[in-house]
C-alpha cells in the first residue's frame, strides 16, 4: 500500500489583510468633521445666549425709559357775564389746568404752548400760555390762561347762542392746548413733537365749570 500522505497539497495559513489607507483617512476626516460640528454648535449656542441676554436688557431699558405722554386735567374754567345781554363786549375766559409728567426718568421740555377755546367748533379765543419750561420726572405744572380783549372773538349772534344753551342748563366748550415738546433722557434729547390736549368743558348758568367736568382728564395726542 502506497503512502499518499506526502502527495496531499499543503494549505497555507491566510495572511493578515493590510488596513486600507483610504479607510483610515475617511475615519479621521469623520472625527474631525464631528469635532468641528460640535465646536460650531457650541459657539452658536454661546452667541445666541449672549444675543438673548442683550435683547432682554435692551427690552427692560426700553420699557423703563420709553417716554409716556403728559397727563392733562382741567381744574377751573369760567366765562363771567353770561346773563348780560351785552356781555360779549367785555367777555373774557379764564381757565386753569395741570400737566403731569408720569415718567420715572424722563424729563419734558415745553418749548411753546398755546390755548384755544372753541364753541360749536368755532374759535372764540386764543392766546399763548406759558414761557418755555422744563418739567422734571414725576412733576406737575400748573398752566393758567386768560382770554380777553383782542384774544377774544365773540360777536352778538354767538353770544345769543350761548345764552340759549345757558337757559337749557349748560354750555359746552372745547379747550385745545397745543404744545411743542421734547423728551429728555439723561443727556439725550428727542426731536420736537406737536402735542394736542383736548378738554371738553361744560359751563353752568353762572358761567362756572360744572362739577362733573372738573378735574376731568383731557385726551392727548401727537401730530
The ranges assigned to domains in the chain are 21-65, 71-222
Mean pLDDT of 171-176: 96
Q: Is 22 helix (H, G, I), strand (E, B) or coil?
A: helix
pLDDT of residue 54 exceeding 70: yes
Q: How many CB atoms lie within 10 A of CB 88?
A: 20
Query: DSSP letter string over 93-133?
Result: EEEEEEEE---SSEEEEEEEEEEEEEETTEEEEEEE----E
Q: How many CB atoms lie within 10 A of CB 82?
A: 21
- pTM greater than the 0.85 cutoff: no
Q: Is 51 helix (H, G, I), strand (E, B) or coil?
A: helix
pLDDT of residue 1 exceeding 50: no
Q: So what's the pLDDT on residue 44?
A: 85
Question: For 2-6, 52-56, 130-134, 163-167, which range has the lowest pLDDT when averaged over its residues?
Answer: 2-6
- Greater confidence (29 vs 150) lies with 150
The topology under which CATH files domain 71-222 is Immunoglobulin-like (2.60.40)
Helix then strand then coil, % of the chain, to nearest 5:
30, 40, 30
Q: So what's the pLDDT on residue 174?
A: 97
- C-alpha cell recorded at residue 172: 359746552
Confidence of residue 53 (pLDDT cuts 50, 70, 90): confident
Q: So what's the pLDDT on residue 5?
A: 47
Estimate to the nearest angstrom the gap between the alpha carbon of 172 and the chain centroid: 30
Amino acid at each position: 500500500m502506497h503512502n499518499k500522505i506526502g502527495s496531499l497539497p499543503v494549505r497555507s495559513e491566510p495572511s493578515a489583510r493590510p488596513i486600507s489607507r483610504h479607510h483610515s483617512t475617511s475615519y479621521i476626516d469623520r472625527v474631525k468633521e464631528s469635532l468641528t460640528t460640535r465646536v460650531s454648535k457650541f459657539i452658536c449656542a454661546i452667541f445666541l445666549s449672549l444675543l438673548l441676554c442683550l435683547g432682554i436688557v435692551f427690552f427692560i431699558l426700553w420699557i423703563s425709559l420709553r417716554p409716556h405722554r403728559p397727563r392733562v386735567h382741567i381744574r377751573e374754567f369760567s366765562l363771567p357775564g353770561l346773563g348780560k345781554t351785552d356781555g360779549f363786549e367785555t367777555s373774557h375766559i379764564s381757565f386753569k389746568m395741570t400737566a403731569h409728567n408720569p415718567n420715572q426718568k424722563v424729563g419734558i421740555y415745553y418749548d411753546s404752548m398755546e390755548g384755544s377755546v372753541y364753541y360749536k367748533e368755532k374759535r372764540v379765543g386764543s392766546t399763548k400760555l406759558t414761557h418755555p419750561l422744563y418739567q422734571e420726572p414725576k412733576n406737575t405744572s400748573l398752566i393758567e390762561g386768560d382770554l380777553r380783549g383782542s384774544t377774544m372773538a365773540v360777536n352778538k349772534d354767538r353770544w345769543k347762542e350761548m345764552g340759549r344753551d345757558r337757559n337749557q342748563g349748560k354750555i359746552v366748550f372745547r379747550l385745545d392746548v397745543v404744545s411743542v415738546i421734547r423728551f429728555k433722557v439723561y443727556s439725550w434729547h428727542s426731536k420736537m413733537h406737536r402735542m394736542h390736549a383736548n378738554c371738553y368743558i361744560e359751563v353752568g348758568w353762572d358761567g362756572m365749570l360744572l362739577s362733573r367736568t372738573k378735574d376731568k382728564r383731557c385726551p392727548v395726542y401727537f401730530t
